[in-house]
Amino acid sequence: MKSKLTEEETNAENRSHWDEKMESWKRALSQVVDLKGKDAKNRKEAEFIREIITDIHQRLGVSLSKSLPLLIGMDHYIQFISSWLADGSCHPADILTVVGMGGIGKTSLAKYVYQLHSFRFHKSSFIEGINARCNEQFNGLLDLQKQLHADISKKISLHVNDVHMYTSKIENELARKMVFIVFDDIDSLDQLDALLGNKGLHPGSKIIITTKDASLIKRYTLYDPQVQPRHTNVLLNCLCEAESLELLCIHAFGSQNPKEGYKEVSEKLVKYCDGHPLALEVLGKSLSKYEDAHEWEYYIEVLKKEPHSRIIKALQMSFDSLTFNNDKDLFKHIACFFVGIDKDLTETILKSCGIKTRFGIKNLIDRRLLGIGWDNKLMMHQLVQEMGRDLVRKESVDKPQKRSWLWCHEESFKVLKHKKGKRNLLGLALDMRMLEKKKCGSFTLKTSSLRKMDNLMLLQLNYIQLKRCFRTFPKELRWLCMRGFPLKSLHLDLPMKNLVYLDLSYSNIESFGMSYSMAPPPAKRQKLVGSCSKVKRLLGSLKILDLSFCKKLRNISGFLELPTLERLIVVNCINLIEVCESLDQCIELVHINLSYCLKLKKLPISIVKLKKVQTLSLDGCNFCESQIKMCDTSSSDISVNSETSSSTIINALPCDFKFFVSYLPSSLIVLSLANNNLSIESFPRDFSCLSMLEELCLDDNPIVSMPNCVRSLPKLKTLSMENCEMIILIEHPPCTLRVLSVGHGNTSLRKIKFNPEMSPINIDGPWKLLSTSSYEIDGMIKIQRLAHVEEKVLHILGWKNLDFIKERRLKTFTFGGSDKSQTKMYNEFGIFSTMYHEEKGMPNWIRNTRKGPSISFSIASSPKKIKGLNFCCMETMHQFSYDTFVLPKIIISNVTKKQTWIYNHYIDKVKVGGKCLNMLSHWMFGPNEMTASDQITINVTQRYYNQQFTKKCGVIYDDGKVEEEDDELASSEKEVSFKAFSQKNPRILGHASQIYTWKLQHEKTTTRDIKMDTNLGHDPAFNVIRGKSVKKLAKKSSVGMKSSRSEMRNTGRDDKDVHLRRQAISREQRNRNVDKEVDARIDNFVKLLIKPTIFLFTWFLLKRLTGILFFFYF
């Protein structure tokens, strides 16, 4: 009985409580309705509740029931764009452009971010599929303008049918409100001008554009020349293998992993798609209906011959957007023949075919149809290449001989075998190694098969047995590649007057000089000997000659026949003995590569006469084991009519390496002498004859120190001495040096010493030895365990309460190896830093914090000058990721003074055993580099693609107040202690004014490019040399500074253009958590609608009204 009574009393109390709440909500609802000017009498309360909820949803711009889609591999992009949207910028035209190939996920990413953040702005609009709607509809652009105007304006519609007039109306609305607009798939500047105008936006507005053309946004300008758009580019790249497999499995199996028995075939499909999201989604859904792995195998084989139409259509949109037919032909040429080929070589070939490549390649890169690798080779996504080849295949599906280009070896074989070639063919490739021996047998090509191909310009016939008659070869050839050429010499009957590139690598030729393989008739021989006009007609246009890996080649002669030769590539010809003295007749020669020609004995002295040679590679020629003879032609005159054999050597002078160097061309910019067994004694006293040299490679030589002659090179920028196992000391390199590569195998190296006046340089070296006392880089970097640093020094740096991390251990990775030890303090270029694992967050004395990878603040007024600041960022891993962090780049900008400091830590990676890493750094500044009212922005940028993101960052600056709190004696002791710590590395530590900045002139347009590449294992510098240089302009100080991973430069941004704050905000507002920003915005909105006397009550109602609606009425 007691329990029942108690339950009834409780229910009664609850009903009474809810009744009171109902009455209060009814009164509040009436007040709200009165404020909106509506009559609440004789109407159901549910109608008013629904109306208010609808109004709230419209004002917030987001549905409460809406769920965000799952985007695989997009977390880092979402995090960066979210930070950009919340950076507080008041720029009048803040635009972010998402660039990528078709189907890469631009629209999905933009839609996700829009749904996530649109409620933060007064008005928002998402205009989807702009280019398609403009092309498919008669008034497509006008309809888009109407949609945009309706989204950002209170007016329902305007009776305007002129695009220019509607643009003016849109410009007026954009100037009045803080808006967030996404323009999806912009293809031309006209579309952007019509939708956005040129007058600028309301402060705080944000525009996101998705496009396939990276150059589009660079051409967008405002009417006011003093205020130009602030551009931020996000380049979307393909997914990595793990992400690709996950996306495929979600669509094919409904899970994150493949079914049993499908793993191998799933990996094949992932490799075929090459990280393309749309292809993975489309093929995953298509294959979900197949329940046998063998059916998957069959499907993949069919795809290789006939790509999926939906994927091709998405990719072809970028191709169709190309304006000029020249660019389209260029794309087809590259897709069929030149993927993976050097860019410069490709340009040389295609220019001779009448194709303009300079701007054409740039246009293809802008539309993400083409890329250039770190080694200057042309790169193309596999599916994009398939799309280009499919365009050619559609010229004639069933009859390959009617197409313009034949790249498929099987089809080329059939066309040549059955002599079906026609005049329409422009290019043909056949490599017999790519065919099955059973199908082709012992095939010998009859050159008559090429008779009808009059317009053929590109011909590849690799490892094919040829008959001797070459007269029927096409006369318009520009590129002839015959690797594995079976004959002993090249026959003169071969028509080569238009040939630009001749590739005979891996061939059986024994000499090159246009000599007959069979003795010609005497009359014909006499005719050729007396004149070189016939020879000039043969190779008068040749620019590139490649004879690499011709193991039987003994001599090269006949350079009189090659007046336009620019590149001579003769690598690894192990039996080559001599190079003809007529080499100096190739006056256009720029590049010579004779590397690993082990028996090379004779080179002409006349090589010094070549005025245009820039690159000379003589790696592995054994200078110290065999004396090369220099051929002196000064005492003899070699005429065209001379019957002297081109191999005759006149006054051959044996010489050592010292003599040889003196006869090198003075025009050289790059000289490579790797693996030549050169000792210190082998080098001359100076390299004064090489006054133009900028790059010198001495890898794999038994030198014990840097040769003295290197110091005499006045323009040397890059010096490489990798794998010099005996090297101990590198001392006083040239002051012009910017890159020093000593590799990771130089374990004997103990010291590198620079001149004090040197500018900072990049160093690639054995960093794993930095933890030992036996390795020193004078003026470069100092490392010390944090536990061994004096407390007084830490106090001066402002590092408090760090005892808990001193004994922690973490594993650091550099390019030379790894080191696992206790927490260390690093001092590079006056920047002190340390890293540690802490899940709870950053130190509590870091007062000004913010979520995301950027923070902005204004220096408060103070009688003291800013001496430095402490910055801390918290790096976090995504779910299912590893615990190895890549240290990010930190960029500090004084927007007011237009100065920027960029810091790249020399440590590459850190393994902390958890999902969170704190990176703390102390920056010292000069007396006037940061003053009161200066606007400061700090950005954390991931150096290359990884699975981490910056969760939070914080900053606190030192204005000298800490020292005021201490007595004079204590301060004096700290200064002495700090100087003692700094004395071991005087060019790093010391006064803050030694941190130089590079003050550039004002730039109208500011651009930030965020590149995230899933295909590269290193940072966006394409793996060239580890480390970043710190550039300096000021040369006043006598103390030089160097750093392997620090960089200083000025971005030249206008102080009105970059990261300006509206007003200086109070300390409490700066400390407010970003999660409360939404409530703050809604709070401001309520203040505008509700009278102050009922503010608190009505605000309580609006926040809980949605929940009450479902409780009482639904």
Q: Quick: pLDDT tens for 697-719.
A: 999 999 999 999 999 999 999 99
* DSSP codes of every residue in 63-75: -TT--PPP-TT-H
pLDDT tens digits, 928-985: 788 887 888 898 887 654 567 788 889 988 765 544 444 433 444 434 334 333 433 3
Is residue 62 predicted with pLDDT exceeding 60? no
| Per-domain residue ranges of the chain | 2-62+1088-1112, 75-235, 241-305, 312-393, 395-477, 483-641+668-676, 778-1048
Long-range contacts of 323-331 (CB under 8 A, 24+ apart): 323/363, 324/360, 324/363, 326/355, 326/356, 326/360, 327/360, 327/363, 327/364, 329/355, 330/355, 330/356, 330/357, 330/360, 330/361, 330/364, 331/364, 331/369, 331/370, 331/388
Q: Please tell me what DSSP assigns to residue 959.
A: -
CA distance 626 to 465: 37
744: confidence class by pLDDT, cuts 50, 70, 90:
low
Residue 767: pLDDT band with limits 50, 70, 90: low
Give the burial string for 224-233 (b: 16+ CB within 10 Å, else e).
eeebbbbbbb
Residue bearing tokens 């392997």: 1044
Q: 3-class secondary structure for 644-658?
A: CCCCCCCCEEECCHH
∠ CA 252-116-311, rounded to 5°: 35
pLDDT surpasses 70 at 773: no
pLDDT digits (tens, 9 = 90+) for 674-687: 999 898 988 888 88
User: Which stretch, 31-35, 467-471, 707-711, 981-985, has highest mean pLDDT?
Assistant: 707-711
Assigned fold of 75-235: Rossmann fold (3.40.50)
Query: Do strands 458-462 and 479-481 pair parallel, antiparallel, or not at all (unpaired)?
Result: parallel
Predicted pLDDT at 776? 55
| Per-residue pLDDT tens over the stretch 796-843 | 888 877 766 665 655 554 444 455 667 788 887 678 888 887 777 788
Q: Which residue has the tokens 């009498």?
A: 41
pLDDT of residue 138: 80
Give the model's pLDDT for residue 225. 67
CATH of 483-641+668-676, one of 1.10.10, 3.30.1950, 3.80.10, 1.20.920: 3.80.10
- Comparing CA positions, the residue from 951, 1028, 1064 lying closest to residue 76 is 951
Q: Give residue for tokens 């002190």.
A: 832
Per residue in 245-286, pLDDT (tens digit) is 999 999 999 888 898 888 999 999 999 999 999 999 999 999
Instruction: Give me the half-sphere count of Cα atoms (radius 13 Å) on the Cβ side of residue 1014.
Output: 20
Match 């631009």 to its residue by tokens. 106
Q: What pLDDT was estimated at residue 536? A: 44
**Nearest CA-CA partner of 769 in 751, 755, 787:** 751
Average pLDDT, the chain: 75
pLDDT at 1058 over 70: no
515 band by pLDDT with thresholds 50, 70 and 90: very low
pLDDT recorded at residue 348: 95
Phi, psi of 179 (to 5 degrees): -120, 160
**pLDDT score, position 1065:** 33
The pLDDT tens digits of the residues spanning 384-395 come to 999 999 999 999
Q: Find the helix packing angle between 241-252 and 263-273, rounded to 10°.
A: 120
The residue ranking higher by pLDDT, 362 or 867, is 362
Helices 277-287, 309-320: inter-axial angle, 10-degree rounding: 160
pLDDT at 959: 63
Express each pLDDT in 970-1018 by its tens digit. 444 434 334 333 433 333 222 222 222 222 222 233 333 333 333 323 3
pLDDT tens string 474-508: 899 999 999 999 888 887 778 888 999 999 999 99
pLDDT tens digits for range 117-166? 888 888 899 999 999 899 888 888 999 998 999 899 866 666 777 888 88
Are the beta carbons of 1047 and 903 closer than 8 angstroms? yes
Distance CA 32, CA 55 (A): 12
Paired with 629 in beta bridges are: 602, 654
In 3-state terms, the chain is what percent helix, strand and coil (to 5)? 35, 20, 50
For residue 1110, pLDDT over 70 is answered with: no
